[in-house]
Structure 1
C-alpha cells in the first residue's frame, strides 16, 4: 500500500537504531513524568536526535507545579533536536498534566511543533492532536473515527494503530479478551486450521474454535492486511496521520510500506 503520509513510529530506546532504518518519523518512548513533577529519561543512544519526545505518566501522583517541568521538557527538546511531543497518558486525566499540556501547547505552537495526546486529554486545549485507538472488541471503527472527527475535527484526529491478538471466551459479557503472543496465535492457527474471516466493522480477522477444557473461543487478530484496512478507513474520513508502535509491527512494516 502506498501511503500519502508517513506514520509515526513509537520506539523504545533499545530499538531506536533499527526503527530509524525505515525512514519514518520516530517518537522516542524514553521519557516519563516523575514525581515533582520532573522529567525522567531512560538511557538513550547518544546519536538519537530529532523526531518527537515520547512521554508517559506511569506511576505519577498528579501533584506539583507545572512551570519547572515545562522548562525541563523544552530544554530536553532543544538538546535532542525534538520537534514534537507524543503523550501516552493512560487513566483518568490529571488537572496538573492538562495545565502542562496547555502551557507546552502555547510554546510548541510558536515553533510549529505538534503535540499528540490520548483521548482523555483531548479537551485540554484546541491545538493538541488526539490519538484514537484502532483496537475494538465491538462496534465499528468507521463509526468510532467519524464520531471523533465530529468532536475534534478531522485535522486533529490521529489513528493510533494497536495490533490486536486476543482470545475471548464465549459468551464474553465484559468484552475482555486474553492477549495472545505472536507465537501463541501462530500455534493456534497451525493446530486448529480454522476458517478465518474478516470483520469490516472491526477491521480485523477472526475465527472461532471449541476447546474440551473451556468451551467456545473467539480469536480476534491483526496482520498487515487488516492494519492496511484500518489506515484506509481513516484516510477515507480525511484523517491523514497515524501512529504505530514499532515493537508491535516490526515484522509487518516492510509489507505495510511496500
Structure 2
C-alpha cells in the first residue's frame, strides 16, 4: 500500500476558514517563546483546536531555563488537542537546543510529532527534520538524499518555500535579491525572456543583461515547479510536507490539495 502524504499548512488564526474542506493538517501560527521563557499565544486569536502548534522564537532573548516552558507547551497541546509542534527557530542558541531536546523526549512519550529546522536535527533525534525546497545550486534529489543519510530516511520533511530571486553574476555567496510575485511579473513583462526549467533544482529560470552589461540570473517557482519538488521527495519515500498557506494557496490545486466534496443528499 502506498504511503499517504501529510501536508502541514502553517496558517494564521484568521485564515483557518480557508482550509475548510482540505485534507491537510493546520499548523497554527499563534504561538511564540516570550521572556522567562514562557509560552505566549497571539493576542485576540481564538484558541485553536486540533492540528499542530508552530513555535516562533524570533523574539526570544535567550535567557532562562526551558524546563518550565516545555511543560507549558505540553499542557497547551493537551488542552488544544494538538498532535505535535513545529519549531520555527531561525537561529541556533543553546537554550533553544535544550528546549528542542526536551520537547523531543516529551513528545515521543506521548506519540506526538515534532518538526525541527535542519540545524536542530541532532538536538532532537526523534524529530522530523525540515529541509527547504529552495535551492540556488546543486540538486534537490542529492540534497534530500544527503539529509536522509545524516538524519535517517524516515525523518525528513520537505518544507516548500516558493522562491523568486534575482542573482547578479557571478554570485559567489549563492544569495540573490528576493523578488515579490508582483516584482517578478513586472520584470518578466518588461523583458519577455525565454524561460527554462532546471531538472536539478526543480525550478524555472531566465537570464538577462543590464544596459551597463551586468548579467543576471533569475530563479523562481510556480505551481508546476512546486509539484515537481513534491514528486522528487516522493520518489525518495518522503511523504511529509510543510506548505505555508500564504505562499502556496494559489498553487493548492497544482499540489493536489483539492477540497473534499460534500456528500450528496437524496431528495425525498
- TM bin, normalised by shorter chain, reads over 0.9
- How many angstroms apart in 2 are the aligned matches of 1:34 and 1:213? 49
- How many angstroms apart in 1 are the aligned matches of 2:16 and 2:44? 8
Is the alpha carbon distance of 1:163 and 1:75 closer, same or farther for their aligned partners in structure 2, counting shifts above 3 Å? Answer: same
Deviation at 1:44, TM superposition (A): 5.7
TM-score normalized by structure 2? 0.90
Report what 1:30 is aligned to: 30
- How many angstroms apart in 2 are the aligned matches of 1:84 and 1:252? 25
Report what 2:19 is aligned to: 19
Please give the per-residue CA displacement for 1:140-197, whole angstroms capped at 9, x wherever unaligned: 1111111000111111011111101111112222221111111111122222111110
- How many angstroms apart in 2 are the aligned matches of 1:41 and 1:141? 35
Report what 2:263 is aligned to: none
Report what 1:230 is aligned to: 229
- How many angstroms apart in 2 are the aligned matches of 1:250 and 1:43? 25
Q: Is the 8 A contact 1:13 1:42 kept in 2?
A: no
Bigger Rg, structure 1 or 2: 2
My pick for the range that moved more, 18-27 or 64-73, is 18-27
Report what 1:185 is aligned to: 184
Report what 2:194 is aligned to: 195
**Structure 2 stretches lacking a partner, 5+ long:** 259-268
Report what 2:86 is aligned to: 86
Deviation at 1:213, TM superposition (A): 5.3
**Structure 1 stretches lacking a partner, 5+ long:** none
Is the alpha carbon distance of 1:38 and 1:47 closer, same or farther for their aligned partners in structure 2, counting shifts above 3 Å? Answer: closer
For residues 30-179 of structure 1, the aligned pairs below 5 Å read: 30-43=30-43, 45-46=45-46, 48-91=48-91, 93-179=92-178
The secondary structure found in structure 1 opposite 2:189 is helix
Deviation at 1:122, TM superposition (A): 0.4
Deviation at 1:103, TM superposition (A): 2.0
Deviation at 1:81, TM superposition (A): 1.6
The aligned length equals 256
Deviation at 1:108, TM superposition (A): 1.5
Is the alpha carbon distance of 1:235 and 1:160 closer, same or farther for their aligned partners in structure 2, counting shifts above 3 Å? Answer: same
RMSD: 1.9
The secondary structure found in structure 1 opposite 2:119 is helix
The secondary structure found in structure 1 opposite 2:234 is helix
- How many angstroms apart in 2 are the aligned matches of 1:36 and 1:253? 39
